Amino acid sequence: VRHARSKLAIRWKLSRRGKEGDVTAFYGVELPTAFMLGTAQYPSPAILGAAFRESAASVATVSVRREAAGAQAGEGFWRLIRDLGVHVLPNTAGCHSSSEAITTAKMARELFETDWIKLEVIGHSDSLQPDPFGLVEAAASLCRDGFKVFPYTTEDLVLADRLLDAGCEVLMPWGAPIGTGLGLVNPLWVAKLARAISGCADGY
């Protein structure tokens, strides 16, 4: 699990089942936990599998990569992920414009047979900070096209409102710049965002 990158998703719609624990629902799909894991940079497929088993993550994020002619590498990875028995959340990693993200999302939907998409539109090359304008534009287009969009966003409250207005039911605010492993850099505003979209009273 040490090698895995955990992800935080803020749930817009929650459903509860008794006192045993919360059941997270993303776009109507109930999951035992909102915990997600990435699938990159594991030392081996066995360790990847162990990370998912030990963490009990419900969702695996995957990306679309270019495939060389004659190569079948992607198919092997896909079988590995499918055998984990978790939900697959494709992403648009590496996209720097809304149009590029939209095209990649459509390719991902066809490849992974899901309308879930973790929407990434990168605006700043060094920090990989999302481009808020391109993100909203792409989110609106994809929502209209039937996608269930999980936008990778900052903790900005106004941007969150725009994404919800665009049709998103889930937000994925960054905890720290991608790849830094710094944990929650700005817990105050992430918590504030969570309260805001849950309709809870605000407070510091």
Partner 1 sequence: MKISINGAAKDVTSTNLAAVLHEAGYRDARVATAVNGNFVPVGPTCVMPDRSWRSGGNCRAAARRVM
Catalytic residue numbers? 118
Please tell me whether residue 141 binds partner 1 under the rule CB under 8 A. Answer: no
- Using CB under 8 A, pick the residue from 3, 87, 96, 106 that binds partner 1: 106
CA torsion sign for 156, 157, 162, 166 is positive
The least distance separating partner 1 from the CB of residue 59, rounded to whole angstroms, comes to 13
The least distance separating partner 1 from the CB of residue 31, rounded to whole angstroms, comes to 19
Please tell me whether residue 170 binds partner 1 under the rule CB under 8 A. Answer: no
Burial class (CB in 10 A: 0-12, 13-18, 19+), 69: exposed
Q: Output 12 or 77, the one with its CB closest to partner 1.
A: 77
Residues 18-77 that bind partner 1 (CB under 8 A): 38-40, 60-75, 77
The least distance separating partner 1 from the CB of residue 194, rounded to whole angstroms, comes to 26
Identify the DSSP state of 107: H
CB contact at 8 A, 56 and 117: no
- Using CB under 8 A, pick the residue from 54, 110, 161, 165 that binds partner 1: 110
Q: Residues binding partner 1: what is the number (CB under 8 A)?
A: 36
CB contact at 8 A, 61 and 36: yes
Helices 73-83 and 45-55 pack at an angle, to 10 degrees, of 20
Distance CA 184, CA 113 (A): 32
Please tell me whether residue 146 binds partner 1 under the rule CB under 8 A. Answer: no
CB contact at 8 A, 131 and 152: no
92 closest CA partner among 146, 151, 37, 38: 151
Please tell me whether residue 114 binds partner 1 under the rule CB under 8 A. Answer: no
Can you give the binding site for partner 1, defined by CB under 8 A? 38-40, 60-75, 77-78, 80-81, 91, 93, 99-100, 102-104, 106-108, 110-112
